[in-house]
Amino acid sequence: MESKRIAIFPGSFDPFTKGHEEIALRGAELFDELIIGIGYNTKKKRSFPLEKTIQKIEELFANHPKISVQSYQVLTTTFAEENGAKFILRGLRNTIDMEYENSIAQANRKINGTIETVFLITSPKFGHISSSIVRELHKFGQDLSLFMPYDLD
């Protein structure tokens, strides 16, 4: 029997945006299982708390059997190996993302050449959304419903 095609979708997701949601949903069409991996560094303070983010993402995809979420504190390739994932999914918005993603993907390939990084180009309607802009808006008390797929409560 063929083994399951498992992908991880790694990121900081601080916060998880509508852009991320769309990449996760489209990615889930390509694989048997998609694990959203929140890379977490205890020394780096998040703007949106980890536990709440996990809970909200779980609720968001509660009816989607292929999508789950976990946090991790190891190398992304190690996290993939630990979960039997042969694919890393990333989203691309523009050439700046491309430059950055290119070096990460090449470094990851050096570390573990059996893991393939797969890119999805954002839909234009989400291309302007970035976690850093959402963090900035949050700091100034703006309503985030245009950018985030769930309410903060």
Lookup: tokens for 75: 């190398």
Rg of the chain on CA atoms, in Å: 15
Q: Which of 6, 66, 68, 97 binds ligand ADP (CB under 6 A)?
A: 97
Residue found under tokens 């390939």: 109
Which residue(s) pair with 118 in the sheet? 89
Q: How far is the CB of 130 from ligand ADP (least distance, A)?
A: 6
Kindly identify the residues of this chain, within the stretch 10-29, that bind ligand ADP according to CB under 6 A: 11-13, 17, 19-20, 23
108 near ligand ADP, judged by CB under 6 A: no
Among 64, 52, 46, residue whose Cα is nearest residue 9: 64
117 CB neighbour count, 10 Å cutoff: 19
150 CB neighbour count, 10 Å cutoff: 17
* 4: helix, strand or coil: coil
Residue found under tokens 């945006």: 17
Kindly identify the residues of this chain, within the stretch 46-65, that bind ligand ADP according to CB under 6 A: none
122 near ligand ADP, judged by CB under 6 A: yes
Q: Which of 26, 46, 66, 93 is catalytic?
A: 93
Is residue 132 annotated as part of the catalytic site, yes or no? no
Q: Segment near ligand ADP (CB under 6 A), from 64-72, 110-118, 123-131, 138-146?
A: 123-131
Is residue 90 annotated as part of the catalytic site, yes or no? no
Catalytic residue IDs: 20, 44, 93, 131
Contacting residues toward ligand ADP, per CB under 6 A: 11-13, 17, 19-20, 23, 90-91, 93, 97, 122, 126, 129-131
